[in-house]
Chain A
């Protein structure tokens, strides 16, 4: 192969002076030489009512918050992320209000969960916070699947914020992506 060294101000006409095939650079030429994961679709939903609260140690669905997706292939994975804002309140019954937030699918499988615990000096105090739950798995279906949150309170009161039409807008959301692997 003949090589030509170019000076600092010399140009090459790519249309007429280059022959052969350029090798692929590091990382290849897009999807023709490697197989990256691809986001095939994305759906999102937010809690549309003001709030949901629980004083129960049994998990209960958060209302008006369901995110549904229909995978295009059984080999696809779904990546689910839920962002939420919560409040733990002593409710005059506990100085250690604590509870759980769970991410579930429509089969009521708990995909992820987390516990929040507050130690407050007065049982009529409250504490707000925010959290994220994520899941990534192969649902192995092309039927619609959906996701929602559930809460429970082991002591005091657990509340999830939604749109209250004044102070909060979309504080609690679920986003689902279909990933081709």
Chain B
């Protein structure tokens, strides 16, 4: 599972059925990438929540 997979899986776990798009210019997954997500459904997540979930995977 890549870091990108971990991020999208964490979002799914914390906020199921979220709809979004994301364009990535590198394999680096960080707060900057998270903040660049184009949310189509409502988002209430923060990077720290997602990162904490990622670290469990």
Interface residues contributed by chain A, number (CB under 8 Å) = 24
* A157, B8: Cβ atoms closer than 8 Å: yes
Segment at the interface with B among A3-11, A51-59, A105-113, A139-147: A51-59
Contacts A89-B5, A92-B9 hold; do A51 and B20 have CB atoms under 8 A apart?
A: no
Main secondary structure, interface of B, reads mixed
| Closest chain A residue to B16, Cβ basis | A93
* B22, A52: Cβ atoms closer than 8 Å: yes
- Counting residue pairs across A and B whose Cβ atoms lie within 8 Å, the total is 63
- A8-33 vs B, Cβ < 8 Å mask (1 yes, 0 no): 00000000000000000000000000
Q: Closest CB of chain B to A105's CB: distance in Å? A: 20
Contacts A50-B26, A165-B26 hold; do A55 and B9 have CB atoms under 8 A apart?
A: no
Indicate which residue in B8, B19, B22 contacts A57 across the interface (CB closer than 8 Å).
B19
- B3-37 vs A, Cβ < 8 Å mask (1 yes, 0 no): 01100110011001111111111110000000000
| Closest chain A residue to B40, Cβ basis | A56
List chain A positions with a Cβ less than 8 A from chain B. Answer: 49-58, 60, 62-64, 89, 91-93, 124, 126, 157, 164-166
List chain B positions with a Cβ less than 8 A from chain A. Answer: 1, 4-5, 8-9, 12-13, 16-27, 38, 40-41
